[in-house]
Structure 1
Amino acid sequence: MADTAAPRPAPKLGAKVRALRRQEGLSQVQMAERLSISPSYLNLIEANKRPLTANLLILLAHAFKVDLKSFAPQEDQRVAEDLMEAFGDPLFDSLELPASEVRELAQTCPGLARAVFFLYQSYREGRRQMDTLSDQLSDGQGYASPATLLPSEAAGDFIQRSMNHFPALEAAAEALWSRAALDQDLLYTGLIEVFKGYGVKVRVHRAGDAPGILRRYDPESRVLSLSELLPPRSRAFQMAHQWALLALRELLDDLIQDPLVADDTARAMARVALANYFAGAVLMPYGAFFRAARAGRYDIELLSRRFEASFEQVCHRLTTLRRPGEEGVPFHFLRIDIAGNISKSFSASGIRFARYSGCCPRWNIHASFLTPGLIRTQISEMPDGVKYFCIARTLQKDTGTYRGQHAMQALGLGCEIAHARELVYSDGLVLEQPPVPIGVTCRLCDRADCEQRAFPPLHQGIQVEERVRRSSFFAHLGA
């Protein structure tokens, strides 16, 4: 079937070239000479009237010792979208801040744009602490400084900027498989032998002996204790996670040497995320998993049974398939609770998730709570015109007891519509059907006719019509 998805515009990198030239203290003539192009052509590139070709980009990186990642358009887009969400705060309602100017700031002065967003984050954190203090004082309770939310965001940004792919961890997982001669059908017992060779004993403890503890490692007794509440696949995952923390500590510390994770808490969260990544790579080795995913058309339940992994673990693993020459479908991933709070997210598809609020209520991930355990599909379209094919399903933690709570969550996995036919879940669907119009959040969505809108769009104040009742309180905005 022909690809009907509209091509995305080429990234405009002229501002980055100009910023690099000024940083080096060169004129257009001098830089043009070093790149073996004419000054007039360089001028057109800086004005975004000519594209920066791949060959010229490589030459630029070589001549000026520049990391090619700094020219990635996704990073500019992410910074711009972060700023747009920040400017969606009612604090800025009285200002006129066109989206074009915000994106220009992100392109021309990315460092300044990040600084502005950092100030906004600090403002929000200060306000949150003030609100918490006010609530506690009104209840007559003592005040303890609440933990900041910024480290979790920093760790998430670190994973996102790395596109959730870490070749060094993939290599470490493959080396463990080779060295320990692991067997897919006997992975749990094989990992026990790995720990035994490392001088660590693995045991399973009763749930009542350590309530609420699923995994615990005692460095003095060198005992790794796993809860009986963990199913076998989860026990193998937890063992692989602990192995990363023990045997790959230096590698993990090297990987988190990143400005995005600047404090101890953020680094600890990033280290845990990387250990989880390694565990997924052990349960689902890259080559075998990639081939199985492609052959089975990304049938998550089939992959779950073949690799003895949970539905969520398979979805996580599908987002990591970025190895050159063996690249999978670029997915986005989202997990929410029944209140709509986003607990995990990653996007390789280009779709945007909100930082400070839940996602659009029109997304099928919310409706999945109405049909627990069943996979729901959706063809949707963002305000920028890009269409997506998404699936969603609820998850129920299977580590509880009869008296314990069984938390219900929902997971969403999706890709651009151009990749939909690669997924078994698109069979029987007419992909050309009218898509469901969705957005990021109400404040960043201009669709005024949405009956589920909870807030007015950015820079459009509320206009109360006392004598008119519409299907949506904000339907007249932008009309």
Structure 2
Amino acid sequence: MSIERLTGSRIREKRLDLGLRQAAVAEAVGISASYLNLIEHNRRRIGGKLLADIARKLGVETSQLTADADGDLLDQIRAAAGAFGTKSEVDRAEELSARFPGWSKLIAAQANRLAMLEERVQALTDRMSYDPQLAMSLNEVVSAATSIRSSASILVGQEDLDADWQRRFHENIHADSLRLGAGSEALISYLDAPDADVAVVQSPQEEIETFLATSSFHYPQLEKARGDVDAFVAGVNLSPPASALLRMIARIYQSDAVAMPRRQFAQAAQDCAYDPAALSQAFAVDFAAVLRRFATLSPSEGHPQTGLAVVDASGSVTFLKTMPGFRLPRFGGACPLWPIFSAFSRPTQPIMADIVMPGTDQTGLRCYAVADAIERPGFDRPPALRSTMLVLPDLPADSRNVIPVGVSCRICPRARCNSRREPAMDGVTLDTSL
């Protein structure tokens, strides 16, 4: 809906706020009540003297009836509609923002809050599953509790213990209780640590991805062959291991940029409806390079939002660009139905698959994946493979054979799944009949 057509809705809202009848306003400005009704329902355009007369009658400035809604708020409302269901009336977001700005802000705030909580839950799930510091803290708590239980059971079950043995077990229980208290406090402090503290224990990959995300995975200084990779890495405050990984990523980025210049690639991507296979042929580059290059296109320039993942043959994520509805556990444990893992069974063969995530909104994604060798093959030596996957939002209308996937078995609600390896934390059990 255009901004001009929103003017009628604003006129109607202001008239109702003032308690004026439609006929009275129409008579004051010299038009019929039926014509004003058409204007208020956005069925007639309005401007010039008539708009000025109506604004004067309503006691407002003309700009208050024609001003555009807040652009950031509109973007947030549209993003919320896309993230939480396809049945929302996205085409009426401007009208909603203009007529009900307060409710619109509430919708945007709740959508942002939900997205933040989902990210937090996933981050905590990853920490519970794979964080060595957390594993050590949990082991300390469990060990102390087990020791206390063992000593207590002996004291309760043996009535003929002499005083010396009783004293010894009491001392053991006291020492273990102190250890349990200290371990519990350390565990609570770690879990409740703010994001600034959690960042201290980030892995090198997480350090890099946090840095890259600040510039939408696009760096102009690496777009040319003569760009200084070492100077680029030196200008970033990362740990030595993260800097070494960033140098490798920067060189791959620069190689992709030289083979597929940004302006030409962006235009070609639009011309071929973002088809990776067509782009691979057009620029004479491998499929994985095209998928990586996609991740540098910005939605602010009219391109679709993208997610990107790279995993090694063990299933560990070595690079990750997340997006709403898409995230993979970093150190294994991800749903094996993702195309990025299926690609390992067909090296060098590109895969296109449509998937749907669990949940009330049933988020749908289109995925492109390919597994390729990272070194030249040799006789009697298994190839070192990596798999790359590009994720695009929204399934095409003609999508068929959609694959139901999850994040990881620990939090997946799909009870009947041939690929489930362990029960979910919410009580979903393994179905051995499958």
Q: Does 1:376 align with 2:351?
A: yes
Residue number in structure 2 paired with 1:412:
389
Choose which of 209, 234, 259 in structure 2 pairs with 1:253.
Answer: 234
Q: Does 1:435 align with 2:382?
A: no
Q: Give the SS at the match of 1:379.
A: strand
Which structure's residues are more often helix, by fraction?
2
Choose which of 386, 394, 399 in structure 1 pairs with 2:363.
Answer: 386
Q: Does 1:269 align with 2:344?
A: no
Q: Do the aligned partners of residues 453 and 152 (structure 1) sit closer, same or farther apart at CA in structure 2, a change above 3 Å counting?
A: same
Residue number in structure 2 paired with 1:450:
417
Q: Is the 8 A contact 2:233 2:243 kept in 1?
A: no
How much has 1:289 moved relative to structure 2? 0.8
Summarize deviations over 1:343-376 as a string: whole Å, max 9, x none: 3332345401112324211223333344444333
Q: Do the aligned partners of residues 82 and 162 (structure 1) sit closer, same or farther apart at CA in structure 2, a change above 3 Å counting?
A: farther
> For residue 456 of structure 1, what is the amino acid of its counterpart?
P
Q: Does 1:114 align with 2:195?
A: yes
Mapped partners of 1:253, 1:439: distance in 2: 39
Residue number in structure 2 paired with 1:345:
320
Q: Give the SS at the match of 2:119.
A: helix
Task: Output the TM-score relative to the length of structure 1.
Answer: 0.49
> For residue 212 of structure 2, what is the amino acid of its counterpart?
I
Q: Give the SS at the match of 1:7.
A: helix
Choose which of 82, 98, 104 in structure 1 pairs with 2:123.
Answer: 82
Choose which of 298, 304, 313 in structure 1 pairs with 2:280.
Answer: 304
Choose which of 290, 310, 331 in structure 2 pairs with 1:356.
Answer: 331
Q: Is the 8 A contact 2:329 2:407 kept in 1?
A: yes
Residue number in structure 1 paired with 2:205:
152
Structure possessing the higher relative contact order (Cα contacts under 8 Å, 6 or more residues apart): 1
Mapped partners of 1:399, 1:378: distance in 2: 28
Mapped partners of 2:211, 2:115: distance in 1: 14
Q: Give the SS at the match of 1:456.
A: coil
Output aligned runs, 1:54-453, within 5 Å: 77-87=118-128, 112-114=193-195, 117=198, 150-170=203-223, 173=224, 240=225, 243-244=226-227, 247=228, 249-254=230-235, 256-257=236-237, 261=238, 263-322=239-298, 324-325=300-301, 327-348=302-323, 350-384=325-359, 385-397=362-374, 399-402=376-379, 405-418=382-395, 420=396, 430-431=398-399, 433=400, 435-453=402-420
Residue number in structure 2 paired with 1:8:
83
How much has 1:251 moved relative to structure 2? 4.2
> For residue 376 of structure 1, what is the amino acid of its counterpart?
I
Q: Is the 8 A contact 1:442 1:457 kept in 2?
A: yes
Summarize deviations over 1:198-245 as a string: whole Å, max 9, x none: xxxxxxxxxxxxxxxxxxxxxxxxxxxxxxxxxxxxxxxxxx4xx44x
Mapped partners of 2:197, 2:278: distance in 1: 46
> For residue 425 of structure 2, what is the amino acid of its counterpart?
L
Mapped partners of 2:419, 2:303: distance in 1: 34
Q: Do the aligned partners of residues 115 and 450 (structure 1) sit closer, same or farther apart at CA in structure 2, a change above 3 Å counting?
A: farther
Q: Do the aligned partners of residues 84 and 340 (structure 1) sit closer, same or farther apart at CA in structure 2, a change above 3 Å counting?
A: closer
How much has 1:405 moved relative to structure 2? 4.4
Residue number in structure 2 paired with 1:181:
none
CA RMSD of aligned residues (A): 4.2
Residue number in structure 2 paired with 1:145:
none
Q: Is the 8 A contact 2:415 2:429 kept in 1?
A: no
How much has 1:280 moved relative to structure 2? 2.0
Q: Do the aligned partners of residues 7 and 301 (structure 1) sit closer, same or farther apart at CA in structure 2, a change above 3 Å counting?
A: closer
Q: Give the SS at the match of 2:263.
A: helix
Q: Is the 8 A contact 1:318 1:328 kept in 2?
A: no
> For residue 437 of structure 1, what is the amino acid of its counterpart?
P
Q: Is the 8 A contact 1:319 1:348 kept in 2?
A: no
Q: Do the aligned partners of residues 356 and 160 (structure 1) sit closer, same or farther apart at CA in structure 2, a change above 3 Å counting?
A: farther
Mapped partners of 1:329, 1:7: distance in 2: 12
Mapped partners of 1:248, 1:88: distance in 2: 35
Summarize deviations over 1:184-208 as a string: whole Å, max 9, x none: xxxxxxxxxxxxxxxxxxxxxxxxx
Mapped partners of 2:411, 2:208: distance in 1: 24
Mapped partners of 2:349, 2:371: distance in 1: 7
Percentage identity across paired residues of the two chains: 23
Summarize deviations over 1:222-273 as a string: whole Å, max 9, x none: xxxxxxxxxxxxxxxxxx4xx44xx35444433x24xxx3x22223322432
How much has 1:118 moved relative to structure 2? 5.5
> For residue 245 of structure 2, what is the amino acid of its counterpart?
M
Q: Do the aligned partners of residues 374 and 437 (structure 1) sit closer, same or farther apart at CA in structure 2, a change above 3 Å counting?
A: same
Mapped partners of 1:115, 1:450: distance in 2: 38
Mapped partners of 2:371, 2:221: distance in 1: 32
How much has 1:166 moved relative to structure 2? 2.6
Q: Is the 8 A contact 1:365 1:410 kept in 2?
A: yes
Mapped partners of 2:433, 2:327: distance in 1: 27
Q: Is the 8 A contact 1:312 1:411 kept in 2?
A: yes
Mapped partners of 1:364, 1:338: distance in 2: 14
Q: How many pairs align?
A: 284
Q: Do the aligned partners of residues 72 and 306 (structure 1) sit closer, same or farther apart at CA in structure 2, a change above 3 Å counting?
A: farther
How much has 1:287 moved relative to structure 2? 0.7
Gaps of 5+ in 2: 1-77, 86-100, 143-190
Mapped partners of 1:349, 1:462: distance in 2: 27
Q: Is the 8 A contact 1:164 1:320 kept in 2?
A: yes
Mapped partners of 1:271, 1:76: distance in 2: 33
